[in-house]
């Protein structure tokens, strides 16, 4: 009688990653709480600091872009590129997702701008609209692939949407921003024009495309044994880095809120972020029904329409609007709300996934 085969014991890093992923929602809330109670370290990390490389050389380093680079490199390292063959053979969901990724901002943001124009805000809500534009112009969040896996969605389609929207973002992000900037009044139109220059001039390529592409190339180059070790080392560090990035961004927003409490602004940020998030998910759901996609592909399309890279939005706002940290409030709210909405999408299996967000 043969002895049973020994069960492989997960590596400590794998156990740590699984443990953190199960508690990621609570960890994000704790990051917000830490930013509210102890914003000092986060405010310090928001500024560039000189890294000494020798007696005469000092390299300026910004924490938030470095953390974003780490998170996106890890996302690229986890992308199962070889699964994309089936998507390319039947690209209807992929093409529909890319078209919606461009169309939804042009449908949702003008509607929200009209509603805010009647608000008592002196700028007609242009600050909140600016923040929302910089969110919806970003590529599909890499974290959407995690939610797709949890809901048994079409993972190759979601991977294709994340990759395609990221690769074309140096073109689409400035285009969406430029098309929507006429909705703004006051100095926000000029600030958004500066963000177009920044986004088109290298932010989306260096800060978004390059780290994701680097992770994919490393995955393709490494043999399976080394890839497992690399994932075990990089993924938990990147998860921790994403929490630090959340803390840094939240410190900027909540730190300014504590210094100058504006409850109406906080309430408006929550309402506007919730409205844009919900409309994006609903439009994705409706498009999936019109296209008569099978439930897994419909789930992936719905998630892709509602989940944008809010971390990249926060870094871009910090870069082009450093004097307006309050604009990070709707970005933080959207980041949390899109995860909540995604959880509702994947809470049930694909046959009922579309009804779950109705």
* Residue 224, in any domain of the structure: no
Query: Which element (helix H / strand E) includes 140?
Result: none
Q: Which range, of 4-8, 223-227, 237-241, averages the lowest pLDDT?
A: 4-8
The total domain count for the chain is 1
- Range name among 90-94, 150-154, 284-288 with the lowest pLDDT average: 150-154
Coil, strand or helix at 137: coil
- The answer to whether position 36 is within a domain reads no
What number is the average pLDDT over the span 106-126?
A: 78
What are the φ/ψ torsions at residue 351 (nearest 5 degrees)? -60, -25
> CB–CB of 336/28 below 8 Å?
yes
Percent pLDDT > 90 in the chain is 6
Residue 77 pLDDT > 60, yes or no? yes
82 in any annotated domain: no
**Is residue 118 very low, low, confident or very high in pLDDT (cuts 50, 70, 90)?**
low
Does residue 147 form part of some domain?
Answer: yes
Q: What pLDDT, on the 0 to 100 scale, is given for residue 355?
A: 37
Query: How does residue 351 score in pLDDT terms, banded at 50, 70 and 90?
Result: very low
Output 231 or 191, whichever has higher pLDDT: 231
What distance in Å separates the CA atoms of residue 115 and residue 356, rounded to the nearest whole number? 27
Q: Does the pLDDT at position 276 exceed 80?
A: yes
CB-based contact 142:159 (threshold 8 Å): no
Residue 306, domain extent: 91-208+235-348
253-266, pLDDT tens digit by residue?
777 677 677 777 77
DSSP codes, 136-149: HTSPBPTTHHHHHH
pLDDT > 60? residue 117: yes
Q: How confident is the model at residue 282 (pLDDT cuts 50, 70, 90)?
A: very high
Q: What is the pLDDT of residue 16?
A: 66
Q: Give per-residue pLDDT as tens, 140-172.
A: 887 777 777 666 667 778 878 888 888 888 888
Q: Domain containing 344 — which CATH number?
A: 1.20.1530.20
Sign of the torsion angle spanned by Cα atoms 66, 163, 11, 229 = negative
pLDDT category of residue 354 using cuts at 50, 70 and 90: very low
The residue-averaged pLDDT of 165-182 equals: 86
Q: 3 pLDDT exceeds 60? A: no
For residue 10, what pLDDT is reported? 54
In the predicted model, is pLDDT for residue 328 greater than 80? yes
Tokens describing residue 25? 């929602």
Q: How far is CA 300 from CA 15, 157, 257, in A?
A: 27, 7, 36
* Range with the poorest average pLDDT among 39-43, 92-96, 116-120, 318-322: 116-120
**SS3 state of residue 172:** helix
CA distance 285 to 277: 13
How would DSSP label each residue in 268-324?
HHHHHHHHHHHHHHHHHHHHHHHHT--HHHHHHHHHHHH-B-HHHHHHHHHHH-TT-
Residue 199 has pLDDT above 60, yes or no: no
Question: Is 32 among the domain residues?
Answer: no
Helix (H) or strand (E) holding 163: helix 155-167
**Is 70 inside a domain boundary?**
no
Q: Does position 233 have pLDDT exceeding 50, yes or no?
A: yes
- For the chain, what is the mean pLDDT? 78
Cα first-last separation, the chain: 56
pLDDT surpasses 50 at 358:
no
Residue 57 lies in a domain: no
- Predicted confidence at residue 320, as pLDDT, reads 77
Q: How confident is the model at residue 356 (pLDDT cuts 50, 70, 90)?
A: very low
Q: Tell me what the mean pLDDT of segment 121-148 comes to.
A: 80
**pLDDT tens-place string over residues 27-53:** 878 888 888 888 888 888 877 777 776
The rounded distance, in Å, linking the Cα atoms of 313 and 285 is 24
**Mean pLDDT throughout 168-185?**
86
pLDDT over threshold 70, residue 2 = no
Between CA 34 and CA 28 the distance in angstroms is 10
């Amino acid at each position: 009688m043969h002895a049973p085969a020994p069960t492989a014991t997960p590596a400590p890093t794998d156990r740590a990653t699984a443990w953190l992923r199960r508690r990621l929602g609570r960890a994000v809330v704790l990051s917000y709480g830490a930013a509210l109670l102890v914003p000092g370290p986060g405010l310090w990390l928001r500024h560039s600091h000189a890294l000494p490389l020798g007696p005469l050389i000092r390299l300026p380093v910004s924490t938030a872009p470095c953390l974003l680079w780490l998170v996106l490199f890890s996302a690229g390292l986890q992308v199962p590129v070889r699964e994309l063959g089936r998507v390319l053979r039947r690209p209807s969901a992929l093409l529909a997702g890319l078209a919606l990724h461009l169309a939804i901002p042009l449908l949702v943001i003008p509607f929200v701008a009209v509603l805010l124009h009647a608000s008592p805000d002196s700028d007609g809500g242009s600050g909140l609209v600016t923040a929302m534009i910089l969110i919806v112009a970003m590529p599909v969040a890499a974290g959407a692939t995690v939610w797709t896996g949890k809901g048994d969605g079409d993972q190759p389609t979601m991977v294709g949407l994340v990759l395609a929207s990221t690769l074309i973002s140096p073109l689409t992000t400035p285009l969406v921003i430029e098309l929507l900037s006429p909705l703004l009044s006051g100095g926000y139109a000029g600030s958004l024009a500066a963000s177009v220059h920044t986004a088109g001039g290298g932010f989306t390529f260096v800060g978004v495309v390059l780290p994701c592409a680097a992770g994919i190339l490393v995955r393709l180059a490494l043999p399976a044994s080394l890839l497992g070790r690399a994932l075990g080392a990089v993924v938990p560090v990147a998860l921790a880095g994403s929490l630090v990035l959340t803390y840094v961004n939240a410190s900027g927003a909540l730190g300014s809120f504590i210094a100058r409490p504006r409850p109406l602004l906080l309430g408006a940020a929550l309402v506007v972020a919730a409205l844009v998030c919900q409309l994006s998910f609903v439009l994705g759901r409706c498009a999936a029904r019109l296209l008569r996609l099978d439930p897994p592909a419909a789930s992936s399309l719905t998630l892709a329409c509602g989940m944008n890279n809010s971390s990249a939005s926060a870094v871009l706002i910090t870069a082009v609007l450093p004097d307006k940290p309050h604009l990070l409030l709707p970005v933080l709210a959207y980041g949390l709300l899109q995860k909540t909405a995604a959880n509702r999408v994947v809470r049930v299996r694909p046959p009922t996934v579309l009804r779950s967000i109705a």
